[in-house]
Structure 1
Amino acid sequence: MKVLIVTERLNICLAKEQDIHTIIEIENHDDNKRFIWQGTYQEHLDEINDDMALLLTFREKDDNKIVGYALAKINFKFDVFELRRIAISKKGCGYGKESILGIIKYSFEQLNTNRFWLDVYPNNEIGINLYKGIGMHLDGILRQSYKDERGYLDQMIFSILREAYLVDKKCNAEEYIGNY
């Protein structure tokens, strides 16, 4: 288990093949499946082996239990970090905020990216409130850009630029976006 990011309560690790079944369970949980794409075993295995992808697990420090996961794609040519999926299995503990702040910090401070972005469906009010609450910028809405059994869905694009991250970090030394 390779730990990439350490937060107050979590170790954020590179996923291993043996984690895939847990990741699929998290994706398919009723509280998550309306908001994220569900990958297959083979797709997740390919992500683990892709140099441009990070498949991460969030593990509680006290018992090493997986309480969430994220999938990111990194475009090194353009210094862009795309958070493609994030899901938490242990709701109401603040693990979503803690993990995304740690990932943002890693993106800017370790990978030296210029832009961190994600998309979210408009019906994901918890996610939208989180992204706004940590200072991400709403770049716009891709109208009817995705289709599933519910029909055509919009996707809201949120981002934060390195410049804004560094300003926020400097202005709010104890509470900046990357405090984790």
Structure 2
Amino acid sequence: MYLKPATVEDAPLFVRMERASGTKEFVIPYDLETHQTLIVDQDVTYLSVMDQDELVGFMILRQDDTKSVEFRRIVIEKQGRGYGQRALQAMEHYCFHQLGCSRIWLDVFASNARGVHIYRKWGYTEFGCDVHQGQRLLLMDKTRSPALPHSTNHTGRNR
């Protein structure tokens, strides 16, 4: 499993993945035009989650000026195979080591017990809450451990 930069040509696949059963309950889907616009936005990074040469999901990150990265979205098409957790680990490495960020933050619907459990398992802690379209959102973050050396040569690709 590895991550690679997504392209505008991937956007129709992302739209399909977001509307799939098991995903649409926890992700407010974007339309094709929104994905196409965001993929080329300088502050937004789309990463394709790959298993060998097969697209199995995607992630959306947004950088800001404070050395923080917003982990906006993860969608995994083939759930229950460990892709999500391995993608999360690769994303953290990318953010902390390649982007040099010191903090990753996210929001997750409080009703998404599986997501909340996984984020807590990976060391994310709650720092607030919000409400979106009547649903409670938990705001969670993780800061870079001072023990992590800075490196820019890891691609996240495992063979």
Above 0.5 in TM-score? yes
Distance 1:83 1:17 in 2: 19
Which structure 1 residue ranges, 5 or more long, are not aligned?
A: 1-9, 171-177
Which structure 2 residue ranges, 5 or more long, are not aligned?
A: 150-155
Matched ranges for 1:50-129 at <5 A: 50-61=41-52, 64-75=53-64, 77-129=65-117
Distance 1:101 1:11 in 2: 10
Matched ranges for 1:130-149 at <5 A: 130-142=118-130, 145-147=131-133
1:13 equivalent in alignment to 2:1: no
For residue 73 of structure 1, what is the amino acid of its counterpart? R
Match of 1:4 in 2: none
For residue 140 of structure 1, report the CA deviation from its aligned partner. 2.2
For residue 110 of structure 1, report the CA deviation from its aligned partner. 0.9
For residue 18 of structure 1, report the CA deviation from its aligned partner. 1.8
User: How many residues get paired?
Assistant: 151
Cα RMSD of the aligned pairs, angstroms, is: 1.7
Is the contact made by 2:128 and 2:140 (CA closer than 8 Å) also made in structure 1?
Answer: yes
Runs of 4+ residues deviating >4 angstroms? none
Which structure has more RCO (C-alpha within 8 Å, separation ≥ 6)? 2
Aligned with residue 46 of structure 1, among 31, 37, 54: 37
For residue 128 of structure 1, report the CA deviation from its aligned partner. 0.7
For residue 127 of structure 1, report the CA deviation from its aligned partner. 0.6
Percentage identity across aligned positions? 25
For residue 156 of structure 1, what is the amino acid of its counterpart? L
TM-score (norm 2): 0.89
For residue 54 of structure 1, report the CA deviation from its aligned partner. 0.6
Q: 1:67-102, CA deviations, whole angstroms, 9 ceiling, x for partnerless residues?
A: 111111111x21110011111111111111100111
